[in-house]
Structure formats: C-alpha cells, structure tokens
A and B are shown apart, each in its own frame.
Chain A
Amino acid sequence: MAVTGKMGSYDRPGTGKYERGNKKKLYSKDKKINAGLKKIDNQYKEAVRSAAGTDLLLQEDHGYLEAEGMEKTFKFQQKDIKNVVDESTIKKSFKLSLPDYGPYQIDYTRNGKELLIGGKKGHVASMDWRTGSLDCELHLNETVHAVKYLHNDQYFAVAQKKYVFIYDKTGLELHRLKQHIDCTKLEFLPYHFLLATAGNTGYLKYHDVSTGQLISEIRTKMGPTQSMKQNPWNGVMHLGHGNGSITLWSPSMPTPLVKLQNSRGAVRDLAIDREGKYMITGSNDKSMKLWDLRKFKVIDEYYSPTPVQSLDISDSGLVSTGWNTHVTVWKDMFKSKQKDPYMNHLLPSNKVERLKFVPFEDFLTVGSSKGVENLIVPGSGEANFDALELNPFETAKQRQQTEVRSLLNKLPSDTITLDPNVIGGIDKRAKAIRLKAGDLNEIITNKDDTVEINPNVKGKNSGLRKLLRKKTQNVIDERKLRIEKNLRLEKEARKRNKDIENGIEVEEDTLAPALSRFN
C-alpha cells in the first residue's frame, strides 16, 4: 500500500513492510478523542512513510542464486558455486574435520560473529569463525547434549550429562546450574535474559541469567522433551513431544498456551521464522509440516525419505532440513507448496546432526557426526543489519555498552505472551471483568507474607506450607524463596530441638561465617 504524506507529498512505494498492527480505523463518539485518534493516525502514516524512505540508505543487496536455461538450482554443487562466487565468500567457508568427538551441536552468537560447537563426547569449542581464532577449547569428558551462547559471545551454556554449566569466553566454568537436571535442549531469550532448558525429565525451566534466579519450572507431563525452539517474535517456547504433539509455553503459565497435534511420530525438530508467522516441524513419521502460527493450522505437508534430524529457518525465509546424510534447502516455502528444493548437499557417510543458518551471512552451518562445515547458500542471510540491534562488526566497547543497555531494558518474564503487542493495548473485555489499577497492587503485594518461624509445628500442615500451596506451583518468586527458606529453618530448628531432647550433642558452628559455606 502506498501512503501519501501530509502537505500533499508524493506517494512512496514499499511502505508495506513497515506497517504495524491492524489497519482498522478506530472511531469514537467523542469528538475530542476522535481528533486525537486522527492525529495519531497521521503521525503513524508519516512514520511509515519516512521509514520507507530509509530504504534508499540500505547499503547491501541480498544474495541470490538463479538458474539459467535448463539448469536447476538444486543441481548446483558447492564446488560449482565456489568457482563463481567472490574471494571473500570462499574465504569464509570452512570445514572442520573432527571425527573423534561427534556428532556436533552448533550455535552462533546473535550477531553471527562467533561459533560454538559441542561434540557429543565432550569436545566444546568457541571460535571467531571468520578469522579462525579460537577463544577456548574444552574437553569435558562428559556427554554434551546442547550448547548455547547467552546474550553475547562472553558466556555460553552447555547441557552436560547431568547438569547445565555456564562457561565464559576463556572456558572458565562459572556456574553449575544444579536445578537443571538431565537437560538435552537449551534456548536463550535475549530480551528477557532467560535461559530455558528442557530434557529427559519433562520439565521446562526458565533461569534468569542476569540475577541467577530460577524464574519458573513447569512440568510438561508429556514425557521427555524431543525438541525445543523459541519463537523469536514473542518469546514463546515451542516444545515437541514423543507423542507427536507440540506445546507452546510461557514462563508465567503452568499450562501450555497452545497444544497442537502435529504428527503420529515423535517431533524430532522444529523451527520458527523470525516474525513468528510460520513454524516448520519434522517428525519420526517422515513428514514435515508447515504451520501457520497465526491461525494454528497446517498449510503444507512435505515428506522426506528418512525422518528429519534438524531444521532451521533463515532470516530471509529459506528452510533447511537435514535428514540422514543430506541437507536440503527450500525456498519460498511460505508462499506456495514447492516441488523442487532450492539447494541440495550430500555429506558422504556423515550424518547431519544440527543445522544453523549464519546470522547476516549467506551460509548454512552443518554440525554432523564427523565435524562441522559451512555451506554457501546464496540469499539466506539478512543483508542489512541494524547496528543498534545486532552488529556483526561491533567493537569491545560497543559490546559492553550494548550489554549494559540491554540489561537496563530487560523485559520482565511476564511479557512473554502469544501476542507481543498486548502491552500498552486496550483491554477489550467487559468493564466488570477488567482489572482496575488498584487491583493490580493488591495482587502484587500480598499482606500475609509475614509468617514467623515456629519450630513447634508438628504435622505436615504448617502455615508456611499452606502459603506455599496457595501460589501456583511453577512460579518461583522472592516470596516463595523466602517461604522455602523459612521452612528449611523450621525443619532444622525441629531437628535441633529433637536432638537436644534425645541427649545428642548439637554441633556448634565453629567456623567463621565466611568459611562456613565450605562445610
């Protein structure tokens, strides 16, 4: 839609992608409100128009691969492509042959500068993949299930045999997250600073990495989680389960926001596009389904010769699928049902484990059982990055400033909802149901928080337990922590009393408080 500015300025094409929300005209009976609405509408139009004007300033062009004559794009092999692309692209392609510790999990930092690889048998390495300089290399002597960078390249999380660990860039172990047991999937929500883990226990846990608090633990009741990906648009976590269902979660809800029945076989992997509109899933019954997340309906169904192992969607909407030893890339999948893929690649006698498009580059990285390599996929990356959001060329100073700024603007975990724009919107429910400003305060500040420790309570039903039960189980907040601590103190006090009664000598804490944490 072309938008005409005020003052009779000319139409500007290409405003469509800058438009937000629904175009429904709001109207009120109040003249004054109408005037305000009209003013806002004009401001919005002008903003869209001037945003479209900045298209001219975009510096880079998107990549492409086109066939001429009888050629087919999926027939082109990597070596054909390397013959014709420019030198800098060839320089960026690499292949790491690591046959001993595979299969490899991979992850990129959000700006695509650093690559993290994690071999099943305990080999973890973080590197600047363009220059090939290694930040750290670890041999953990323990199974590695998943690796994930946190908000920047300074920290990464590794899901190991039993616990999840956090390391820094030099490979120093910073934390052992002992609440996260037996995890196989890791995700990180960059704007909320939440590390989400899921695995064989069937629990989905959210950990705030900026404060070190466990925000919530949710029991999915669906058995071991087969696959997990976040919806980058609204932060909702998509979990694939063994019975072929997909559930959508937010940390503030103990039940799934949405439950979808995807397939008959287990959901092996899924991927969501950056605008949160489409989801692609691959399952054990060899089917691959394309979901429209706005309607929660299957649009298209594809089949692969063997079940899909890994899926990823690039910024420009290319879908890569890895099955057995093959990598297939699809184009325009969201527009119409495709007959032929965009590109194909075969890794001889080398099973694909994990696929990941490189952010802001035309590359697809494949973690496989015998190493890590990256394939040139023209047209897969977002050519024009926004340096104030994510900057592949950022300096150390800029990285530090961005970190501070993003911590200041950290979103509370309860902003994770299906509609990310619900905040600041209008509550359209009836007046009687709506929360009033005062009600909100009452919900937040409960008066009955101050309960004294009473070691003489015998039965299972103490006042503290009652308080603990009142709150939803999965929400862990300061109050819950406080109650749990008080319960613990109560228990200890009870034990001490009993010991004294039975004549057992109670050990005095002989160590100074600073050292007592080591006993």
Chain B
Amino acid sequence: MKIKTISRSADNYVPVRNTQESSLPRNLNPALHPFERAREYTKALNATKLEKIFAQPFIGQLGDGHRDGIYSIAKNFDSINQVASGSGDGVIKYWDLTSRDEIISFKAHYGMVSGLVVTPKQHNMLSCGDDKTIKLWSVNSSDFDMSINDDELYDKKDNGLVKTFLGEHAFKGLDHHQDEELFITGGLSIQLWDMNRSNYISNLSWGADNINTVKFNKTETNLLASAGSDNSIVLYDIRTNSPIQKVVTNLRTNAISWNPMEAFNFASGGDDHNAYYWDMRNLKRSLNVYKDHVSSIMDLDFSPTGEELVTGSYDKTLRIFKTRQGHSRDIYHTKRMQRIHVVKFSTDARYILSGSDDYNIRLWRTVANDRAKIKSSRERAKMEYDNVLKERFKHMPEIKRIARHRHLPKTIKKAKEIKTVEINALKKREDNNRKHSKAGAVPYVPERQKHIRGTSIKDD
C-alpha cells in the first residue's frame, strides 16, 4: 500500500511571533475562485464609486492673485514648481508652487501684459505688452529690492529690470527659442528678435494681419506656429527666415500648443468652441476634433507626455481631453471662476494652472481623485488593480453612467442643450438639402475637414 495524506505543518502557516506576518499562500487555479467575473465587476463598480467620492480637483489659488484679470502664464521648464504670470494691469509675478506664494512682482507695462515667457537658460522673465515694449526681468533676488510692497509697486518701475526692447507696434504673443538667444513676437507683424540686439532681426509676416499667438516648437526648435486674426494658422522656419505653409479655418484660432512628444503635431483651439489636433505635414485635414466646450477656447496646453490636453474656455470651465479621444474626460469649474484666459499643465503633469478674469490663478489636480501623499506599496497595488478593473469594465452600463456623470453649472447645461438643438437643425437642413439635390451635389464633408477653408504652401 502506498499512501500519503495532506499534512500541513502549522509552523509553515502560523507566525511564530506576533510581529511576524502570517504567510498567505496563493493558488491561482480558477476552480478555487468561483464568480471571478462577477466579483471583479463588483470591485470595479465600487472602485468607480470611490473614485467619484474622492474626486476633489480644486486645490487652491496662488497667493492673493493679481489686481486684474490674468492673461498669460509662463512655465519655467527647468523646474517643477515655478511659474510666472502676467495680468491686465501690466504686473507680472513669479510664483513658487510649493508654498503657493509669490516670489516677486514687477509692474512691467502700461496696459496689459500680452505675452510672457521664462527664458530657458537664465530663467529671466521676458514680457511684452500693449505699450510697444518688450522687457527682460531678473528673478534672482540679488538683482532687485525685495522690500517693495504691493502699494509701491506701481511707482518703482525699474526694480529688477534687465533690458528693454522698443518695438514699432503693440505686441501680442511672445515665445522664446528653446536653445538659442532668440525670441519671436506677434502683433501687427511677426518679428524675430535676438536677445543681444536692440532691434528685431527679421520680419516673417505673410499677409497683412494681426498675429495673436506665436509658439516655438520645443523639439524641432527652429519651427514655430502662429495664429492670426485672419483665421489662419501659419508655420515658419527661422532657418530660412520665412513662412512655410498656412491653413485658413472658418473661425479665429486663439491658442496653439505643440505636442511635446510628437514634434510634428500640434493642437489649436478657437472661436468655434472646438479644439483641433493637426499634423503639420498635412494641414488639409486635422487628426482629431475635441468637442464639448460651449464657448470659445481661449487657451490650451499639452501635458508633458503629450497624452492629454487641457483647454480653458470663455464658458468659465476648463476641460481635460485625452489626445486620442474626441470628448473630454473631465470638466473643472467653480462657482466663482470667471472666463478662463490661460491654462497650463505643470511640468510634472500632475497639476493644472488656470488664470481667469476674476484675478485668480487656480491650481487643479490633473486627476481629480489623485492625492500627493506618498503611498504604501499596498495602497499602490490596490490603486493599480482598481485602475485595471475600471478599464476592463468601463463599458458596463452602470459603471459607465457613474464614471461619466459630471455636475455641470446650469448655464453650461442649458447652453449645451441649445447647442445640440442648433447643430441638429443644421444637420437636418443639410440632409434635406442633400435629399433634394442631384446625387453628389452636396457632398459629405468629414468633421475633421469641415472647419478648414483652405491651405497654401509658400513658394519663393
């Protein structure tokens, strides 16, 4: 007779001391895990509910804000906790995000600050304004008097000023070259400046219209894009000192952001409530359309990974889009926040900054239920497991409903309803038109092409 029975030694399973962890042997045989699918679904449902419970996107505002609406925010790309902001009364401020306090403020311009950038190497602030000047400001505390308070700010104008460039027209939009000492300004014409010269070195204008925004490509550093009031987006190459190509859209483009990871792609947002994703090699159609806003998009910014896009709108909300999806994954709003003029991702992608008409710069979490504290490995494992479950069961009706639900301000909701009705009416009209015309006379135009009037390539 050959015989053996299960004989487990308790020593292997029961801890000897109470400080010891008890061993938890696993057996992954599915026969030992009945109702696997149903249990995972329940876990996914619970995780989705918890995610909603812990969703707290708003962190707070930076310091006491400005004394006028905020129209520009600039990131310091070499740090994760420093940003600059400029407001409508000509004041620029430099902020420390960790303490959410300002480091220094300067009265930079008469009238509003229309462009602001933190220079890449020296980390100085470069600002331009309606007063036809571009000014370079030091942020090193040895260069200026720290003791000036807010009341004296408007009188002491030379504090911290490094350099002034005088222009011929009011400026609109400013960006600095990633590597070289060059910067570009918009306005009546688009001009390239050298940091060491007092006058601009070339004028890149194509056509005769105002330029509202200019953006250097951070990867392919000699390329830049501009958007103007003639509803056009123009691409330039500064090596040849000339524009390359142009696309004209139906409505004005307010903001441009280059994808930091895919150098040839950029996004634009404009007055038609939509943002578009473009491939600069083919401007005949856009790669993606981001719909959801109910008013003009005033600014947009890519996350450092290029996976997400944040847009700030005139409808007083900001939305976060996944680059490859057409509708927003989240919407942020508060009762007090007014029209948003500028949004930026923080350089570590975990936070979003928004500047609005109500003089405040607000700090938001990119993921609403995310928390900054250090997580234990068990917490992290649970979170990762929950995320996988949520992803797996995201199409289940109950989970979808809970995950998608957002509270919207009444005005937005109403505006959305009205917009749907209007769009449906237009569609219906077009359909009717098509039905009653000769076959092929009213062609179907893809949504990704509808907003494009035409493109042109510069040939010399």
Residues of A at the B interface (CB closer than 8 Å) are 17-18, 20, 51, 54, 57-68, 71, 76, 80-81, 84-86, 88-89, 191, 232-235, 274-276, 315, 360-362, 376, 378, 381-393, 395, 398, 408-412, 415, 420-421, 423-424, 437, 440
Contacts and interface: CB of A to CB of B under 8 A. Distances in A.
Contacts of B400: 437
A18 B29 CA distance: 6
A399 B5 CA distance: 27
Nearest to B44: A424
A375 B184 CA distance: 89
B5 A233 contact: no
B360 to A, nearest CB: 39
Interface string B153-176: 000000000000000000000000
B444 interface: no
16 contacts: A17-B29, A58-B25, A60-B6, A61-B4, A64-B2, A85-B3, A235-B35, A274-B32, A275-B31, A386-B27, A388-B26, A408-B46, A415-B35, A420-B35, A440-B397, A440-B398
Contact of A65 (B1, B28, B41): B1
Contacts of A395: 22
Contact of B396 (A60, A233, A424): A424
Nearest to B40: A424
B27 A65 contact: no
B134 to A, nearest CB: 47
Given A54-B28, A409-B43, A424 B37 contact: yes
Given A64-B3, A387-B26, A233 B14 contact: no
Contacts of A408: 46
Interface of B: 1-10, 12-14, 22-43, 46, 392-393, 396-398, 400-401
B401 A376 contact: no
B37 A420 contact: yes
Contact of A382 (B13, B32, B37): B32
Contacts of A420: 34-38
Nearest to B393: A424
B108 to A, nearest CB: 49
B8 A60 contact: yes
A387 B24 contact: yes
A2 B9 CA distance: 34
Contacts of B401: 437
* B5, B10, B30, B34, most chain A CB atoms within 10 A: B5
The 6 closest A-B pairs by CB, nearest first: A387-B24, A393-B13, A66-B2, A362-B5, A63-B5, A386-B27
Contacts of B33: 386, 389
Given A64-B4, A376-B5, A420-B38, A274 B31 contact: yes
Nearest to B39: A409
B27 A385 contact: yes
A54 B26 contact: yes
A390 B55 CA distance: 34
Given A57-B25, A393-B14, 8 more contacts: A17-B31, A88-B7, A191-B38, A191-B39, A232-B34, A389-B32, A392-B8, A395-B22
A81 B1 CA distance: 9
Contacts of A58: 25, 27
Nearest to A52: B28
A362 to B, nearest CB: 4
Contacts of B35: 191, 234-235, 411, 415, 420
A54 to B, nearest CB: 5
A85 B30 CA distance: 31
Contacts of A440: 397-398
A275 B32 CA distance: 8
* B2, B4, B8, B42, most chain A CB atoms within 10 A: B4
Given A60-B8, A61-B4, A393-B10, A411 B42 contact: yes
A235 B37 CA distance: 13
A411 B38 CA distance: 7
A393 B23 CA distance: 10
A384 B25 contact: yes
B39 A386 contact: no
A386 B26 contact: yes
A129 to B, nearest CB: 15
B322 to A, nearest CB: 15
Contact of A63 (B6, B13, B393): B6
B307 to A, nearest CB: 17
A86 B164 CA distance: 94
Nearest to B398: A440
Contacts of A361: 6
Given A409-B43, A409-B46, A440-B397, A66 B26 contact: no
* A62, A80, A384, most chain B CB atoms within 10 A: A384
A147 to B, nearest CB: 23
Nearest to A381: B6
Contacts of A233: 34
A80 B1 CA distance: 10
Contacts of A423: 37-38, 41, 396
Nearest to B13: A393
B42 to A, nearest CB: 5
A378 B5 CA distance: 5
Given A386-B26, A387-B26, A378 B37 contact: no
Contacts of B8: 60, 392
Contacts of B14: 393
A416 B34 CA distance: 12
A88 B8 CA distance: 9
Nearest to A55: B28
B24 A62 contact: no
B25 A84 contact: no
Contacts of B41: 423-424
A381 B6 CA distance: 8
Contacts of B25: 57-59, 384-387
Contacts of A63: 3-6
Contacts of B39: 191, 409, 411
A68 B1 contact: yes
A65 B2 contact: yes
A233 B38 CA distance: 12
Contacts of B38: 191, 411, 415, 420, 423
B42 A51 contact: no
Nearest to B28: A51
Contacts of A86: 5, 7
A280 to B, nearest CB: 17
Nearest to A420: B35
Contacts of A362: 5-6
A274 B23 CA distance: 25
A442 B286 CA distance: 40
Nearest to A50: B28
Contacts of B46: 408-409
Contacts of A18: 28-30
B433 to A, nearest CB: 29
B373 to A, nearest CB: 23
Contacts of A424: 37, 40-41, 392-393, 396
Nearest to B12: A59
A362 B8 CA distance: 11
A323 B6 CA distance: 27
A385 B26 CA distance: 7
Contacts of A57: 25-26
Nearest to B46: A408
Contacts of B12: 59
A234 B10 CA distance: 33
A51 B30 CA distance: 10
A113 to B, nearest CB: 12
B106 to A, nearest CB: 51
Contacts of A385: 25, 27, 32
Nearest to A51: B28
Contacts of A54: 26, 28
Contacts of A389: 32-33
A71 B4 CA distance: 17
Contacts of A276: 34
